[in-house]
């Protein structure tokens, strides 16, 4: 397939010097990339330990005289800010649990049964991922108000599932497909139902796949912004991303607190990612490449 054309040989350089040069260039490139990726994050971290008066100090310094955790204590002792975190946890955990449950059932149907319309239903589920949230948010507003779910947890939980469910079903179907059918057939031979086969055999051995799906689901819900902004009204129903924005107007730019809240708000996702990195990236790329 790949045609390889003959090339000129390397100009007057021994393989050893050439290798050394390549290595220097590589590390130079890697270092530049690390500054590009990491410096803004480092600056956010540094700002969160400053007093607000020092944020735009000239010349800028990474660590200032008044290095302190004040911005964090401010956030963590403020009931209104803590409420944003509570709301985010409630919504994200509920979305993760419900998404996994519904997706397990659907993935089982796609993986273990042949039935009419399965291709069509699958295509519809895949296409949900492409529907723009801005198109959905207008009818969702009408629906949620009509159903009395405006400014409630169920309103947010239900609407977040439009993002999480398609991905979860596709991923779990792919995961179930890698497990031999003989496993669940053996339960049926012993007189067990397909329900038993699913929950007793398939689900317990699919834990790695479910972790990847669960982490991704949690992240999507934790980070969701547009629906949280449009479908809630009062501060006691707002989630962390909206809380960060509210901090921007409310205190006329308490930059140190905004950065502290941003870091506190990012910690759950950072921890989940670092702990499950391998499984997560593996699951994600297989999804992105195959789905």
Partner 1 sequence: MTTAPADPIVKPESAPPAEPAAPGPKRSSVARRLLPFGYLSPTIVLIVVLMIVPIVMVISYSFRDNVIVQENSVFAGLANYTDVLTDPDFLAAIKNTGIFITVSMVAHLLLGLGFAMMLNSPLLGGVAKSLFRVVYVLPWLFTIAVIAVIWRLLLDPSGVVNYVLNALGLIDQGVDWLGSPSTALWVVTFANIWSGYPFFMISLLAGLQGIPGELYEAASVDGASPWRKFLHVTLPQLRPVIISMAVLDLIWTSQQFALIWMMTGGGPLNSTEMLSTFTYKLAFSEYEFATASASAVVVLLLTMILAFFYVRQQRER
Instruction: Considering only residues 61 through 100, tell me which ones interact with partner 1, judged by CB under 8 A.
Output: none
- Nearest residue (CB) to partner 1, 79 versus 142: 142
- Nearest residue (CB) to partner 1, 56 versus 67: 56
Residues 246-275 that bind partner 1 (CB under 8 A): 248, 255, 258-259, 262, 265-266, 269-270, 273-274
- Nearest residue (CB) to partner 1, 90 versus 128: 128
In the complex, least distance from residue 79 CB atom to partner 1, rounded to whole angstroms: 21
Residue 89 neighbours by CB under 8 Å, 6+ apart: 268
Residues 219-248 that bind partner 1 (CB under 8 A): 222-223, 225-226, 229-230, 240-242, 244-245, 248
- Nearest residue (CB) to partner 1, 67 versus 253: 253
Q: Return the residue of 10, 12, 77, 180 that touches partner 1, per CB under 8 A.
A: 10
Task: Give CA–CA dist 223/219, Å, rounded.
Answer: 6
- Nearest residue (CB) to partner 1, 205 versus 248: 248
- Nearest residue (CB) to partner 1, 11 versus 204: 11
CB neighbourhood size of 290 (10 A): 9
In the complex, least distance from residue 9 CB atom to partner 1, rounded to whole angstroms: 7
What does the per-residue mask of binding to partner 1 show for 109-128, with x meaning CB under 8 A?
x---xxx--x--x--xx-xx
Residue 6 main-chain phi, psi, to 5 deg: -65, 150
- Nearest residue (CB) to partner 1, 208 versus 225: 225
Taking contact as CB under 8 A, which single stretch among the options 73-81, 89-97, 156-164, 203-211 is the one that binds partner 1? 156-164
Residues 16-45 that bind partner 1 (CB under 8 A): 19, 22-23, 26, 29-30, 33-34, 36-38, 40-41, 43-44
Taking contact as CB under 8 A, which single stretch among the options 63-71, 132-140, 173-181, 182-190 is the one that binds partner 1? 132-140
């Amino acid at each position: 397939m790949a045609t390889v054309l003959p090339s000129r040989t390397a100009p007057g350089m021994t393989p050893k010097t050439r290798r050394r040069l390549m290595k220097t260039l590589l590390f130079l490139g890697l270092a530049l990339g690390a500054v590009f990726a990491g410096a803004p994050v480092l600056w956010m971290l540094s700002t969160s330990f400053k007093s607000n008066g020092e944020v735009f100090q000239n010349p800028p310094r990474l660590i200032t005289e008044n290095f302190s955790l004040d911005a964090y204590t401010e956030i963590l002792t403020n009931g209104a800010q803590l409420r944003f975190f509570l709301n985010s946890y409630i919504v994200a955990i509920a979305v993760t649990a419900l998404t996994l449950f519904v997706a397990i059932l659907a993935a089982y149907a796609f993986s273990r049964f042949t039935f009419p319309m399965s291709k069509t239903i699958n295509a519809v589920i895949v296409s949900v991922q492409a529907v723009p949230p801005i198109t959905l948010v207008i009818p969702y507003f009408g629906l949620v108000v009509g159903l009395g779910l405006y400014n409630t947890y169920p309103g947010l939980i239900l609407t977040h599932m439009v993002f999480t469910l398609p991905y979860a079903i596709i991923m779990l179907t792919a995961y179930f497909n890698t497990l031999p059918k003989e496993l669940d057939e053996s339960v049926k031979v012993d007189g067990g139902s397909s329900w038993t086969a699913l929950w007793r055999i398939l689900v317990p051995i699919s834990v790695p796949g479910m972790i990847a799906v669960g982490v991704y689901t949690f992240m999507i819900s934790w980070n969701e912004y547009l629906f949280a902004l449009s479908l809630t009204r009062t501060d006691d129903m707002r989630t962390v991303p909206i809380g960060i924005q509210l901090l921007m107007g409310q205190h006329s730019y308490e930059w140190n607190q905004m950065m502290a809240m941003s870091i506190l708000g990012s910690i759950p996702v950072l921890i989940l990612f670092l702990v499950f990195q391998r499984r997560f990236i593996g699951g994600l790329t297989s999804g992105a490449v195959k789905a």
